Structure formats: C-alpha cells, structure tokens
Structure 1
Amino acid sequence: MVASTDPLLAEIQRQLDADIDLSGLAERFGYSPYHFHRVFTRSVGETPRGHIARLRLEKALLLVVASEATFLDIALAVGFRNHETFTRAFKRQFGTTPRELRREARQVERKPPDRLDEEYSLSKARFAMLPARHMLAVRHIGSYDEPFALPYLPEDTYWNGLVAWAEAHDLGHSRLPYGFFLDMPGITPDAAMRADFAIEIEREVTPDGRYFYLPFDGGTFGVIEHRGPHNTLPQAYRALVNAIFAVPEKYVLSGAPPFQVHREVHVDGDPADNLTEVYFPDTRA
C-alpha cells in the first residue's frame, strides 16, 4: 500500500479521458475496494467517482471556452460516452450548458494584462516543441494564492525534498524547478486546488511516500518569459492565453495543465530579476 494518495491522484489525472477502472487502480496501489474508497474520501474530501467527475467537467469547461472542438468531441475527450449525458452533467456542475457558455465567452472582450505597481516585463509569446521527459514530483493541495517558498530556500519543502530523494537513490537529476498547475482559479474550490512541483530525472522510478513519478509527454507549447516579482506571474499566464487565442487558425489550447519553469531566482537580490518561463500545452488547429 502506498503511504500517500498523491501517486494515485496523479494516475487518475493521466487517465481522465479513458474508462477508469477504480477496482483495478485500487489493487494496483495496494488497497481493497472498500479500503480504497474510505481512504480516498478521507484524504481527498470527495468520493473517487465524485473526484473524477469534477476533474473531467473542469477540463471540459476549459475546452468549451478555449477551443473550437465540437461538444461531442469534448465529451469523448473527458470520458463521457455521449453528448447528452455530458451536457446534463455540465449544467448540473456549472449552471449553464456548454453551448451557452461558449456563446457568452465569445462575447467577452479579452482583458489585457494588468499593469501593477510592481514592475515586470514579458517577452513576446512563441510556440515551441518540447521532448518527453521523466520527472519526480510532489503535490501541493490548496489555493494558488498561498505564498510558496522559493525553490531551494531552507524553508522550501518541495524541491529541496525532491533533490534529496534523488540524491539518496543515486538518481541522475536536474535542479531546474518546475511547477504544474492542474486546476482553474475561480472554478476549482481553493481547498481542492492542486499543484505538482517537479524536477527532471534520468529514468522512470517508483518512489514511495509523498513523491511520485510524473511522465512528461512533450509536444507543442505556447511559451512566454516573465521577468519580475513572482506575484506578477498571473499577468504572464493571461498574456500567453491571449496570444494563443489570437491565432486560432494555427493553435488551440489542448486542455492539459500549464506549467512554469523557474530559470533564475534572485533570492537575496532584486526580485525584479526573477526569470520564469510559462508554458501552455497546445495542439495545432
């Protein structure tokens, strides 16, 4: 039995577009079906089926707003077998139908990044192909507005622990810190928001405890560079989404989670010198 549900939750995230066999998943992670349901619900605050349904619908919401995919294709992409069942579930969750939401979203003028008191700069958005990678990750649960310790400060409990685990297991790794943000602020409840902090490693592993193996599939990504204090990073996300929306004939958001890479962290210097890359997974139109 795994000591943490985080590897199990990461596996569910990867299988959202498939028929998830909860009994098989429970057995794989060392639980009986009854114990799995009890441990999962106590740890996550939702039943396994409720958790899966919410994640699928939140992914669907992003695809409805940010893509031109048909509603049937979106339904199939998030594990529903037909358009009707998907539409009913979507309306129960969000109080509107996919068609109504898409129409409203098209009528809303896209808001440019805010200019805040603190200075920051953004590069021009571009599109890049990234290769597949092996990653070691640890999960954070809670609001993205909570302050995170910067990578590798003494109080950092995420990347410091990942590097220590890799070194203890003689595992080749990079210290470059990644952060994957799986949920949508304003849609996902703050207490349920998930972030996976990660480093690259040389091969697939089977960790125990709070760490888990995270495969990175690579592909096409929109990317923008942000230089400035970390509390201005949301402006980079907004600018990048706007840039992707501006070329719908070329690229559309895939619905996979965005991530950021901390290239330069000026802990003791000027926070305006922090350099962070923000990525959104895309597909070619």
Structure 2
Amino acid sequence: MDKKKEISLYPVWSHIEEFLDEKIGLNQLAFFSNYSPWHFHRIFSNFHGETLGDYIKRLRLEKSAYALKSTNFPILEIAIETGYASNEAYTKSFKKQFGKTPLQYRKTYSKWKSLESNLEFPPSLKPDEIFIQEISDFSIAYVRRFGSYENFPGLIEGEETKILNQFIQDVQSEPNNHKWIGISQDDPQITKSDLIRFDLGITIGNLRLTKIPKSLGIQKVSGGKYLIFRNRGDYSLLPEVYDWILNRYIPNKFQLRNLPPFEIYTNPFESCMKKRITDLYFPIHSLSNYKRKSINPKAN
C-alpha cells in the first residue's frame, strides 16, 4: 500500500470513471499521467495487478452486473451500454468474469421485495428519517483506498483523514467550511474485496485550486434524485446497514440509478460513537410519496 501511494493515478482514475462508457485509449490516459505510454502502462499494471485493458473491462462488467441486480432493464440494453455489439459477446465475457450468464446472475442476485409495514429496521435507522431529495452536482477533494469496507479504520484514525486535514490547512480554509463525504464505489457482492474502491473526501465548493497535491484527487458527485437515510451510530456498522437497504428495503417502485451511493458524516469527529450521524444517499430514478427534507451536501 505504501508503494502505491507514491504514485498519483488520480487524474487517470477520474478520466476512466467519467468516460467509462466511451472508448478509452492508452495514449490518452498516458497524457493525463504525464508518462510515456509504455512507462504509464507498466506503472498502472504494477499498481493494480492487471493491465489497463483488463481493468477497464472489469469495471464495465461490474457496472453491468450492478444494473442486472438493481434494475429491470433488458439484458440486451445493458450489453450495448457496456460496449458489446451483441448479447452473445456480452454473455461470453460476463460468464468468464462471474461464472454465470447475465440471466442466471439476475435471477440469483436480483431481490425485488415490496416495502412491508412490518419490516424490521436496523437499530440505527428510523422509518421517519427516510427522505427523498433532489440535489445539485458538487465536487470533492478525496483520498482513495482499496480493500474491504469493513476494514476501513474510520475518519478519526485513518491516514486519509490526516491528508485531508492537511489539505484544508494548505488552502487556508477551516474544517467547518467543508462537509466530509464517503463514496462506496463498488458493490461488495460484485467486486472482490481487495479491489473495492472507497473514497473519503471533503466538499470544496468554490475554492480556487491552483495545484492539487499528488495524494489527492478531485471528483464530481452527480446530482439528481436521492433516497436518503439518516443513520445514527458507529461507522463500523455501515456495511450492514448498506446491505439491509439495498437487499431488503428498496422496493419495486424505486429504480436505482447506476451510480455509487455516498454518505455525509454530519459530526465525523464526535468521540461518542453512538452519537455519530451519517446521511446515506442512494441515487434513484423516480420519486415516491416520501417526505422531502433539506439535507444539503453542497457546502464549501
């Protein structure tokens, strides 16, 4: 991990993730990295343990697997959006990656369940603290880590927190001017645990950034409609809460957008873990008869 942190691939990651549905060339990414194509590819492959082509292909297939799980879109439509000209070619690649055909995968992992009045909520969630809100795009400065969500040390203890706090000092800002954001880029039921990407960041609002440290990246969080849950309690329980929301709570009337959920830590440095509050944002296509409440992440 220390060896990986010496190399800044943030501009490359940002470009791949922004244009994942489009053709991405080696020379194009090498330009963003400031390396020659040959040297860049060697660095990238050593970092990720897979070639650039395999990395992009895996991300596309994992994104399609999430669509199979969370939507009822036709498989052919998902195949075309993944970059395959035919269902046959997509099925062959998908089965090689996941050991199942797309149809078999959908039958195994799709869990469309109605929202029942007697559904038992986790202790950290309350039925009257679920909202739908439309938000605007906003940008964050972030640090990326790889590995299981369960192994994330938390905001106070982690090296990522120190890097972000140093950044706040370097831009002569104040901690209260920023909101702390966590983005779970991968579904642990789809992505292998050691390849999972988690981004910890702070909102940057209208800050004029003339130079970005190599230890940080900048990314835009997409706006739109979100289903929001307020979680009260220790951050270590969040993976279980996510699993409950995605696999038990989300009913038929909600269609998740194929974007990563994110979380806002409203009091990240609260010493009492039981008093920590986290707002969980899940991107959705359609509204329902839920309360609206302003829990706005778009702060400086």
TM-score for the superposition, normalised by structure 2 = 0.81
CA deviations over 1:240-274 (Å, ceiling 9, x no partner): 325773143xx3111211111111246433x2211
Q: State the AA in 1 paired with 2:154.
A: A
Match of 1:143 in 2: 148
How many angstroms does 1:169 deviate by?
A: 3.1
Q: State the AA in 1 paired with 2:219.
A: L
Q: Distance in 1 between matches of 2:120 and 2:82?
A: 30
CA deviations over 1:28-77 (Å, ceiling 9, x no partner): 32121111110001111111011111111111111011101111221233
| 1:32 matched to 2:36 | yes
Match of 1:121 in 2: 125
How many angstroms does 1:6 deviate by?
A: 3.0
| Superposition CA RMSD, Å | 2.8
Match of 1:100 in 2: 104
Q: Distance in 2 between matches of 1:20 and 1:172?
A: 38
- The 8 Å contact of residues 128 and 223 in structure 1, kept in 2 or not, is answered as yes
Which is worse superposed, 122-131 or 167-176? 167-176
Q: Mapping of 1:57-76 within 5 angstroms?
A: 57-76=61-80
Q: Distance in 1 between matches of 2:238 and 2:77?
A: 32
Structure that is richer in strand per residue: 1
| 1:194 matched to 2:197 | yes
Percent identical across equivalent pairs?
27
- The 8 Å contact of residues 16 and 79 in structure 1, kept in 2 or not, is answered as no
Match of 1:159 in 2: 161
Q: Is the alpha carbon distance of 1:96 and 1:176 closer, same or farther for their aligned partners in structure 2, counting shifts above 3 Å? A: same
What SS does the aligned partner of 2:194 have?
A: helix
Q: Distance in 2 between matches of 1:106 and 1:208?
A: 41
Q: Select 2:215's aligned residue among 210, 218, 223.
A: 210
How many angstroms does 1:187 deviate by?
A: 2.8
Q: Distance in 1 between matches of 2:127 and 2:105?
A: 31
Q: Select 2:283's aligned residue among 276, 281, 284.
A: 281
What SS does the aligned partner of 1:43 have?
A: helix
**What stretches of structure 1 of length at least 5 have no aligned partner?**
none
Q: Distance in 2 between matches of 1:172 and 1:85?
A: 52
Q: Is the alpha carbon distance of 1:8 and 1:107 closer, same or farther for their aligned partners in structure 2, counting shifts above 3 Å? A: closer
- The 8 Å contact of residues 163 and 215 in structure 2, kept in 1 or not, is answered as no
- The 8 Å contact of residues 63 and 258 in structure 2, kept in 1 or not, is answered as yes
CA deviations over 1:217-240 (Å, ceiling 9, x no partner): 211111101112222223432343
Q: Select 1:254's aligned residue among 250, 253, 257.
A: 257
CA deviations over 1:177-225 (Å, ceiling 9, x no partner): 1110111214322221111111111247451311011112211111101
Task: Kindly tell me the number of residue pairs found equivalent between the two proteins.
Answer: 275
Q: State the AA in 2 paired with 1:233.
A: L
Match of 1:225 in 2: 230
- The 8 Å contact of residues 122 and 236 in structure 1, kept in 2 or not, is answered as no
Match of 2:135 in 1: 130
- The 8 Å contact of residues 121 and 228 in structure 1, kept in 2 or not, is answered as no
Match of 2:188 in 1: 185
| 1:176 matched to 2:182 | no
- The 8 Å contact of residues 113 and 239 in structure 1, kept in 2 or not, is answered as no
Which is worse superposed, 169-178 or 14-23? 169-178
Q: Select 2:246's aligned residue among 241, 244, 256.
A: 241
Q: Distance in 1 between matches of 2:226 and 2:207?
A: 23
Q: State the AA in 2 paired with 1:280.
A: F
Q: Distance in 2 between matches of 1:141 and 1:280?
A: 21
Match of 1:272 in 2: 274
Q: Distance in 1 between matches of 2:85 and 2:69?
A: 21
